[in-house]
Amino acid sequence: MVIKEMQLKLNRFRLMTAIATVAATITLAVPVVKSQNRTVIKIDGSSTVYPITEAVAEEFQKETRGQTRVTVGISGTGGGFKKFCAGETHISDASRPIKKSEQEKCAGNNIKYIELPVAYDALTVVVNKDNDWANSMKVDDLKKMWDSSATRKIKKWNQVKSNWPDRRLKLYGPGSDSGTFDYFNEVIIGKEGSSRSDYTASEDDNVLVQGVAEDKGAIGYFGYAYYEANKSRLKAVAIDGGDGPVLPSADTVNNGSYSPLSRPIYIYVNAEAAEKVPELKQFVEFYIDNAPELVAEVGYVPLPDEDYDNVLGRFEKGETGRVSLRDGL
C-alpha cells in the first residue's frame, strides 16, 4: 500500500460513503446491507487508524474478489463511536480506548463490542523542515504551548523558551472528536479537553501536514504514519519525558523509551454482527492475520506476534468489554 494513494482516498471517502446501500438482510443492531449483491461492511472513526484499516480493506476486497464491499470513513475516534454506539457501523477505528460515557451509550442501545488492539502508534510532534531551533522539547514546553491558559496569550516561540526566536507560533492539531486530541491532552496537559482553542484543527491529518509544511513557525501533532509519509517535508521533535530527548521510531516505542507519546490503537467490533455475519467475521480474522505486515507497511509499529495470537483468540471467543495490553490479553 502506497501512503500517497491513501491520501487521495482520504479525500474520496465521503463519496464512497454516499453511495446508496439498501435492504437489510438480517435483523441486527447494525443492519447488514447488500449493494449490487455484495455484503457491505461499514467502518468509521479515527484518522490515525484509517491507513491500517484502509490497507486491510483493500487487500481483503482483492482476496474475496469483490464479493464483500468495505467502506472506511473518517469522523475521528469520538465521531466514530457516536455512529458505532448508535448501531450505524460494524467496526469503529479508535486511537484511544472507549470512554465511560461512550460505553454507556453503547449499553443503552444494546451494542456489545469486542475491543481489539491492532498496533502501536508513536504520536509525533512535528515542526517545519526549516525550523532550526526546536530539535527537542520537554513535556512542560508542550504543556506551556498547548494548555488552555495559553489561549490568545502564548503567540510567539520565545514566550515558550527565551532562547527560541521572536517568531509567530502557529499551531496545528486534531479536532476535539479525535482520539489523538484526547490522548495528547491527557498525557501532556494532564486533563482531557483542556487544550487551547486558538489553533487550526482538522480531523484530516493531511490538512495538518500541509499547514506545518508551509509555515516555518508552525508546530503540530498527529499519528506516526503521517510523519513517515511526509519526512521530506517535516521534522520530528525529540520528546523528553524525563530521561532525555527521544525521537519516535519502532525501536523507541517497543523499548518504552518514547514516553509518554506512544500508545496502542484499536478497532472495536460489533459482537452480535461478528457472530451472525460470516463476511464480517472473515474480515476481522483477515485484519488480525495480516496486521503485522500491513501495520509496518503504512508506518505504524506492529504488536508482538504473541499479542496478535491473543487478539485473534479474544475475537474468536467473542470476549466483550475492555482489555489491557499491559495486563495481558
Please check whether residues 253 and 154 belong to one and the same domain. yes
Give the three cell numbers for residue 299.
508506518
Please check whether residues 296 and 270 belong to one and the same domain. yes
Please check whether residues 9 and 80 belong to one and the same domain. yes
Please check whether residues 133 and 253 belong to one and the same domain. yes
Other C-beta atoms lying within 10 Å of the C-beta of residue 208: 27
- pLDDT, tens digit (0-9, with 9 covering 90-100), for 115-168: 999 999 999 999 999 999 999 999 999 999 999 999 999 999 999 999 999 999
Q: What SS3 state is found at 112?
A: coil
CA torsion, points 165, 171, 173, 176, in degrees to nearest 10?
130
- pLDDT, tens digit (0-9, with 9 covering 90-100), for 24-79: 333 345 555 555 568 999 999 999 999 999 999 999 999 998 889 999 999 999 99
Provide the CATH number for the domain around residue 92: 3.40.190.10
Cα–Cα distance for residue pair 81/92, rounded to 1 Å:
6
Query: Are 321 and 115 in contact, with CB atoms under 8 Å apart?
Result: yes
- pLDDT, tens digit (0-9, with 9 covering 90-100), for 235-284: 999 999 999 999 999 999 989 999 999 999 999 999 999 999 999 999 99
Is this structure's pTM higher than 0.95?
no
Give the three cell numbers for residue 88.
450505524
Within-domain flag for 197: yes
Other C-beta atoms lying within 10 Å of the C-beta of residue 131: 22
Contacts of 63 (CB under 8 A, 6+ apart): 286
Please check whether residues 137 and 65 belong to one and the same domain. no
Beta bridge partners of 94: 266
Please check whether residues 90 and 103 belong to one and the same domain. yes
Integer distance in angstroms from the first to the last C-alpha of the chain?
29
Tell me which residue range forms the domain holding 235. Answer: 124-260
Please check whether residues 55 and 181 belong to one and the same domain. no
